[in-house]
Amino acid sequence: MALVVLAFDLLLAAALIWLAWQATRAADLFHAVVSFIVFGLLMALAWVRLEAPDVALAEAAIGAGATGALLLSALDRLARRPRRHAPLYEPGTAWGFWLPAGSALLAMLTLAAWNLPAPGLGNEILASLSASGVEHAVTAVLLNFRALDTLLEIGVLLLAAVVIWALGQAPPPLVPSMPSPALPALGRLLFPIFVLVAAYLLWRGSHGPGGAFPAGAVFGAGGILMLLAGARPWIRSSEHGPWRLILSLGMAVLLAAGVAGTLSGQDFFQYPKGTAASFILVLEVAAGLSIALLIFALYLRGKPREHGSWGAAE
């Protein structure tokens, strides 16, 4: 049995290396992007093998799913342009440099990594878990022990959306050259399932792998699917609508939770005694909602248009 597992690991590693090579070297950009998406999916398998189910969920939903959708839609726009045949790579002496340099770097890193005792913080987590308000260690780290990181992380997501809006209007939605009746049907069928799965993941976060990030990503991916299936993006950039507020909700609520600690005379982000569980639940819901909409907003690649301006060319 151990042999089978080892063979599986070796196969997985070989596939990952091959896909990474394809993603960076394939002559065709489409080929490279697809390799990268498959790379992400296999990476999720690797995370499972390394006993990191939370990371696997996030990788599958965000790393492969949402990033893949982003890359493909960007690629589609790029590929429509007439292409001048510029050299894809610098010609010439690259190998003479890369082979020795790469091997040296590889040897150094491996040597360093093998020397790691990896003490880890497992015992510290176990000792503090009961006081954190949740049973699942990763959620405890994300929303209690290292909540400051999570606040900044949602901030990065919101910031990215703001930057993308700042850069200009979203391009008009894609129109498939031969519309298929199956796709909208699929969208209608799957969207409720997406919502269901997202809610389930959110609820699960307190005691098992799951939580706001995978849940938000799944929800956001559902939105992207609806968009692909021909739905109009329902987010508006208007200052009057609620969308900007909902997008910023996650970060605002996290900030408020942080400040609440300071205002009550404790540390920043210190939840009042005994309320950590309810605090974390509220944070998860707000963060999950914002993450879903933010991932959707990132996919639009620009400030959503106002009503009625869809026909206008860029």
191 is a contact residue toward another protein (CB under 8 A): no
250 vs 285 by CB, closer to another protein: 250
Does 150 contact another protein by CB under 8 A?
A: yes
- Can you tell me the distance from the alpha carbon of 121 to that of 156, in angstroms, rounded to the nearest whole number? 26
Is 194:65 a contact under the CB 8 Å cutoff? no
CB of 75 to another protein, least distance (A): 7
Residues 147 and 258: beta-carbon distance below 8 Å: yes
Instruction: Assess 29 for contact with another protein (CB under 8 A).
Output: yes
Whats the size of the chain, residue-wise?
314
State the burial class of residue 90 (Cβ atoms within 10 Å of its Cβ: 0-12, 13-18, 19+).
Answer: exposed
Buried b (16+ CB within 10 A) or exposed e, 159-186: eebbebbeeebbbeeeeeeeeeeeeeee
- Min separation Cβ 101 and another protein, Å: 9
Please tell me whether residue 178 binds another protein under the rule CB under 8 A: yes
Q: Is 165 in the site for another protein (CB under 8 A)?
A: yes
| Residue 296 engages another protein in binding (rule: CB under 8 A) | no
Q: Which is nearer to another protein, 6 or 310 (CB)?
A: 6
- By CB under 8 A, name the one of 186, 195, 281, 282 that touches another protein: 186
CA-to-CA dists, residue 34 to 28, 79, 205, 208, angstroms: 10, 14, 31, 31
Q: By CB under 8 A, which span of 49-57, 199-207, 305-313 interacts with another protein?
A: 49-57
In the region spanning residues 105 to 144, those forming contacts with another protein, defined by CB under 8 A, are 105-106, 108-126, 128, 137-138, 140-142, 144
The contacts of residue 12 (CB under 8 Å, 6+ apart) are: 42, 45, 46, 49
Binding residue for another protein (CB under 8 A) from 38, 59, 280, 293?
59
Q: What residues numbered 67-106 form the site for another protein, per CB under 8 A? A: 67, 70-71, 74-75, 77-79, 81-90, 94, 98, 102, 105-106
Residue (75 or 195) nearer to another protein, CB: 75
Q: Rounded to an integer, what distance in angstroms lies between the CA atom of residue 40 and that of residue 60?
A: 7
- Tell me if 162 contacts another protein by CB under 8 A: yes
Distance CA 170, CA 80 (A): 17
Residue number, 105 or 207, with CB nearest to another protein: 105
What's at 49, amino acid-wise? R
Q: Which residues make Cβ contacts (< 8 Å) with residue 134, sequence separation at least 6?
A: 140, 143, 144, 205, 206, 207, 276, 277, 280
Closest Cα partner for 287 from 132, 192, 194, 157? 157
Residue 164 lies near another protein (rule: CB under 8 A): yes
Tokens for 7, please give them: 């063979």
Q: How far is the CB of 127 from another protein (least distance, A)?
A: 9
x/- track of binding to another protein for residues 217-246 (CB under 8 A): ----------------------x----xx-
Which of 38, 133, 134, 157 is close enough to bind another protein by CB under 8 A?
157
**Tokens (6 digits) for 73:** 């839609």
What's the token pair of residue 251?
């970060």
Quick check: 206 binds another protein (CB under 8 A)? Answer: no
Q: How many residues bind another protein (CB under 8 A)?
A: 138
- In whole angstroms, the minimum distance from the beta carbon of 308 to another protein comes to 19
